[in-house]
Each structure stands twice: as structure tokens, then as C-alpha cells.
Structure 1
């Protein structure tokens, strides 16, 4: 008969036959299983009944959530608020609006075309001109849309023959951004924006073109996209060089299915987004999650006093040790470990979350008052560093007390923090380092959003193209640059721009040099309609 220790639930008869050490082992094993099952049940309850956000909302006293999960409940009696004395008055009710706001504009007049429709006054038809006068007008705006917004530019080039020499003369057709292509730059950029900013795959764009009466092939759209990305690649490379030169960089990884590993099975590859201190980001791509790719993307040299900010993945710390730079750890990831254990050890987890919340309160003051440099460092030293030291001391005391099972999720969370203590403390002494990688995670959100629409990339080359375009689009957003205006301009400049000055075409530098007078498509010359 096999040992009861190998059975998940020994019978009472088998339990009686166990020695004292075996009973201790059995109890510890069952306790670990109970903790693990409680964690799983708490996770399922949170998915069904609880909030998915990691924001802390302390439950009102006396309110019990469904199946033990807390939720924001509306109390029967309102909470006391500020008392305000107002004079007695009669309030006139507002008339019911018909949905058209006549006073405020909800659009940018410089960017949205407006067509004016005159609405005749029927009373004017019954009166002679000398019987009334127009004293003003009222304006109502309504948002409208045409089935398709495509336009065909028809270039008419006169062909002449000189009478004296009989020579024929005709001006050449304007050069497009893609050689020998019938696509105007406005169409090319619109296709790129639709695919990467609004996640509209090319096959859907093809269907929309067909519905608008434009007959082109889907391979033509694919080839057009590849040729466009090839022109943008030097700009991407220049932006990546700028990020590599940053003293402080943040890095993360996000999976994407690209290429086929076997018939009917996609291969898991990875984007490694890198965020520089000048608010630039590049989505580098690699076929795996191996640590060697970090060296390939960041290089084997770094600026003086360089800092790499990341989550707890071990390849980042290995790279930092190899290069000799400082490795800063993300507090948001540390907090997440504690938050996910709060259903198992609520009292202790709440205490830990309170310590971390105090760190973020100090950071919020810095953000609100826009503190920089020495002022930012002084505030962190005075208000965040003592909190962090008390928290680390609190963690050490709990481990010394040996009050938790080794398999407890909360103990694992505390161990995660204790092992990364030095990295978590880096930001306290360096004003150029962020408290977490949330700024990077917000920027890389375009990849998970895109995956919900296009699911995967057929090839690894296609995944690299996604990274190139998203790097430029997201950086445009970070610098408040209109992606459409930017791409229309740089696609017309890049083929004639000196290769040594290609950095001028990155969104950050382009905003200073060219944004006030960007190159436009011929579409904006308003050609005559046929």
C-alpha cells in the first residue's frame, strides 16, 4: 500500500497509523493546499463579483459584500457633508434640449470641414423686404458623416506642341511618396492610422473601399503598407538611438503571436518596449523572452550613472550587473503582489498597502506641484524615504516572527519586496527615476488593444513593422503631435532628407522644427470637382 502522504485525502484509518513526524508533514501539506484553494476561490470571486481595478476602496463599516467580497455599497442614509447656508429663492427649470447645443462648439473649427445649410424663415415669404429686417441669426451644429471619405485626385497635364519646332511638351505627373504608386500620401497615411491607431485590419479597410466604389486588391494594400513602413524605418532607428543614449530607461516585455511554429500553431514572440527620459518609446521585437535580447536592444555600453527601471523579471537585473548600471525596481509590481494576496491575509495585506499608499501620496504631491530636480529629491527624502524605511523594517519583522506558511501568497509577496529592496529604493535618491513603470505600461497599451482586433501577425517581419509604426504613433501622442499631420509630412521629407540628420524627423524633434508649417497633400489644394 502506498504512503498516505502521497494521497490528497488519507482515510481516518490510514491517519491513525502515521507517526508524529508524518502527521506534522501531512498537516503542513493540507494547510498549504487550503491556502492555495482559498487563493483560487478568492480569485474567482473577484472575477465574478469584485472589482478588477487594483484601486483601494475601503469598505464602509457594517457592509458585507457578496460571498465575502467587498463592494461599493450605497448606504441607506447619506453621509454627512458640508453645511452650506443659501438664501431662499425660486429655481426656474431648464427647457428640454433637442440635443443640439447652439452655443458651444464640440469640434475644432480649424480641422473639421463645415458645410453651411441655410434654413429659410417661412414668415419672410409672406412679407415684403421693406416690412422686416434681419437682426441676427441662430446657429445649430450637427455632426454628420458621409458613407465614404475617399477622394480621387485627377491631375490634368496639358500636352502642347510648339509650332516652330513641332516638339511635344507635357509636365510629368507629381512624384508620390511610393514610387510608381497610384496612392496619394493622404491615402497611405490614412491606411496606416486606421490600422495601427484604430486597429482596423487591412481586410476590413479593403471591404470599406469596395463599399465606397473603389476597386483595388488586398495584396496591393499589403504591399503599400510594407513600402510605407520601409520608409519609416530609418526614423525608428534614429529614435531608438536617442532612447539608448538616455540616462534613465524603462523596459518591459509583452507577448505577440507572430509566425508559425508548427502547422496550425502560432509562435509566441515578444515586444520589448523601451521608454527613454525624453518621452520617446520604441517597440523592439525578438523571437523569444531570453535575456540575450535585452543586451541586443540596449547595447553593451551605457551613459554615466545610467539607470534601468523594470519589473522583477530576472533578465533585467542580470543585464544591469553585466553592464554595471543601476537597476531600479517598479513599486507598482511590488504592490500588485501584495494586492493579489489581500483576500488570503486581509489584515496584514491592508497594513502593507497602507505603507505603499503613503509612498504614492508623496509622489502625488510631486506631480501636483510639478516639482523638478533638487526640489523633487528633497520632498522624496523628507516624505517618502522614511515611509519606505519603516515599511522595509516592518517586512523584516514579519519574516523574523515566522508567522506565515512558506507557501502563503502574502509571504511570497513580502519576499518579492524584500529581495528587491535595493532596487525599490533607487528612486528615493534619484529625481530622474520614476516610482514605477506605469508610464511605460500606459504607452504599451496599444499592443494588447490591437491584439483584440488582429489577434496575431502572420510573420515576424509583420510584427517588427507593427513595432516600428507604433513606436512613432505612441511617441506622437506623448508629445501632443497629430499623427496624421506628422506622417503626411515626414513621408514626403524622408527620401530627400540627409541621412545624417534623420533624427530631425523623429516626433520629438519634428515638433520643434516642422510642426508649425508641415508639408500637406495635394488634397488640401482643393482641386476643382468634375
Structure 2
């Protein structure tokens, strides 16, 4: 609300300029933009539902305008996303996976299939890089091809493309025990007795990890405990796997045969965590963080364009990382959307959620519409 005045001496009409917004020329306040993004990507409310809710409350805007606002705001945040991805690339321990997404039209009534490639760094940061397929080249596009830090480890599932990337870049590849366990779980209906044996042995490894968490063991203490307690269990497990093959009682098509072959082929990668205390036993921490994509996908189903999918990845990367660091995503977005345009480009990493919490969370920028305390 701005005053309009008429000068008596010149009879001219004057009005102060509108306050500068985070998006040039837009009538949307930063609080509206941050709320739009938070509702869509944090609480999985598609824009058409938000449009209905706005209309029900007497706010008449067009749906294309809401889409334009979302894209424009996330374009402002792309350098922050890039800085966070650089931080993850510099991590010694990284976990990576891929999850499908429909993005872009392939024809009338058909959508193209693409993939998010979530990667999780050792500083509790996650980025969802979008690529158009599941080819191994997208691993290099996401993680880069620069020499990795000394002793770097890439923790993944059993997809062979990760092994090729690790060999090419000189990484140690670790594999996830949860994915191995899943193979035996799926075999229970066909081979209940032996599949249950495998699950019980793997469960003992998880009991060791639970004790480590409860005792808060770190560093060399964690490594020594794993070698003393878990390594003998792992050796017995693989001895049991070899014995199952030697018994000649398995059909090649049996799910249990598939599970046994899966773990035996990947033994070296499954044992990496025993000697490296910083490597988790599985990728469950990544699976929990990437859950926002399947949850959102059930609501908004697909992205109209590949560019839209890229912006979904940017939003989910920053919001999911906010959750990992106990940051309110709305407060973060209100601050960073105002700050990013004036912040030195060389220091853009300070606006990633992890560093923002250190530098700005104590006194965040608010909207001009934010209620002032008396």
C-alpha cells in the first residue's frame, strides 16, 4: 500500500516506487514465494491445489503465474544448489542412488522417463541431480571426474555402472547390506528355511551397528569393534553362502540362487565398511532422505518439462538438507531468496543450509510483512 499525492504547485501526481522484490517486477512478496515452494516441495501440494486454496480465500491469480514464480525463484537458488553439490563432491564418503521420474512429453498422452540421481555427502547434505536416463555417464556428470580425496569411498547398491565409475576414478566402492538383505527377504516365499537363516545372520550385523550407536563409538573404537564382532559374522555368512552352492540343491531360477549369487559376487564391496569406521553398513540414510521424491511423485505425478524436473531437484535438495540440519525450510527460503541477489558469488556456499545455519540462522532476514515483535 503506497500513498498517491498531487502536488499543489505543479498539479502532478506522484507515488513512491514499489518496494524491490526478490523477482524483478513481480508483485509477489518473498513470503508468498517461499510459502509456494514450501507447500509444493515440503508438503507435496501441487500448484493446482494451491491455486484452488488461494481462490477459496479470495485471492485471484492465474495458475501459469504460480508456475512462473516457482521457476523464477528456483532459478535464483541454482547457484546455491551447485555450491552444495560441490561440497558433496569434496566428501570422502559419498552415497549415491537413482530414482525414476516422468519428465517431458514424449507424444500425445505419453511422458518421457528420466532419473534423479541423489548423492549424499558426509556433512549431511543431499543433492538431487536430474538426468534424462540411467546411463553410467550420468554418474560422472553428477560426481565429476576430478581426482577424489584420498581414501574416498562411494557407497551404492549393486548397479554395475557404479563399479565402472569407481574403477575409472580410483574410488573404493562399498555396497549396501540392506539391498543384499532385500534379496533374501524376497526369496522367503520359495525357500523360507534358508532365506530365514540368511536374514538372521545379516540381522546379527545390524545388532553390532545398534550397539555401536548406543555406545557412541567413533573412529578407531568403532573400527576395532566391527573387526572384533562383525568380521567373524561376515566370514561365517559367506562360508554359509559357499556351502549353499556346494549342496547342489538350488534351481538356477530360484530367487534364493539369485540372492546368493548377488552377495557372493559383491563380497569385497560388502566388507569395505568393516575396516573403515566412517562408512555406513547401508544406504538407508540416503533412502530416508530421498523419500521426498516418491512421496511428492504420488501427488504431482510428473514434470511437464525436463527443466521443471531440474528445478524440482534444486528445491528438494535444499529442503531435504534443511530437514537434516533441523532448519525450518520456510524461514530458510525467506532469508536466502532475499540474500542471494546481493551475496558475493565467491561466498555463495555460505547460503547452503549447512553453512547458513552457522552464519545467518540466528538473525534471518524476514519479509516486510512479517509481524514485528513489540
Other-structure match for 2:130: 285
* Partner Cα separation in structure 2 for residue 237 and residue 264 of structure 1: 33
Bigger Rg, which one: 1
Residues 479, 507 of structure 1: 8 Å contact kept: yes
Aligned position for 1:7: none
Task: Within 5 Å, give how 1:488-527 maps onto structure 2.
Answer: 488-525=334-371
Match of 1:230 among 67, 75, 91: 75
Distance 1:390 1:197 in 2: 44
**Matched residue of 1:522: which SS?**
coil
Which blocks of at least 5 consecutive residues in structure 1 are unaligned?
A: 1-153
Match of 1:304 among 120, 129, 150: 150
3-state secondary structure, aligned to 2:370: helix
* Aligned partners of 1:253 and 1:271 also within 8 Å: yes
* Matched-pair contact (CA < 8 Å) for 2:4–2:13: no
Cα distance between partner residues in 1 of 2:297 and 2:64:
22
Structure 2 contact 96–154 (Cα < 8 Å) conserved? yes
Separation (CA, whole Å) in 2 of partners of 1:521 and 1:277? 33
What does residue range 312-331 of structure 1 map to in structure 2 within 5 Å? 312-331=158-177
**Partners of 1:365 and 1:171 in 2: CA distance:** 65
Corresponding position: 1:408 with 2:269: no
Aligned to 2:311: 465
* TM-score scaled by length of structure 1: 0.68
Matches within 5 A, 1:6-405: 154=1, 156-157=2-3, 159=5, 171-301=16-146, 302-405=148-251
Cα offsets for 1:161-186 (capped at 9, x unmatched): 698x9999864332111111111110
1:10-51 CA deviation, whole Å, 9 max, x = no partner? xxxxxxxxxxxxxxxxxxxxxxxxxxxxxxxxxxxxxxxxxx
Measure the CA separation in 2 of the matches of 1:290 and 1:504.
33
Q: Are 1:295 and 1:319, in contact at CA under 8 Å, matched by a contact in 2?
A: yes
- How far 1:210 sits from its partner (Å)? 1.2
The alignment covers a number of residue pairs equal to 372
Give the distance between the partners of 2:288 and 2:174, measured in 1 at CA: 19
Deviation at 1:404, TM superposition (A): 1.2
Inter-partner Cα distance in structure 2 for 1:297 and 1:189: 27
Give TM-score, length-normalised by structure 2.
Answer: 0.96
* Cα drift, residue 262 of structure 1: 2.6
Q: Partner of 1:429 in structure 2?
A: 275
- Kindly indicate whether the alpha-carbon contact (under 8 Å) linking 1:162 and 1:168 is maintained by their aligned counterparts in 2: no
Aligned residues: CA RMSD: 1.8
SS in 1 for 2:369: helix
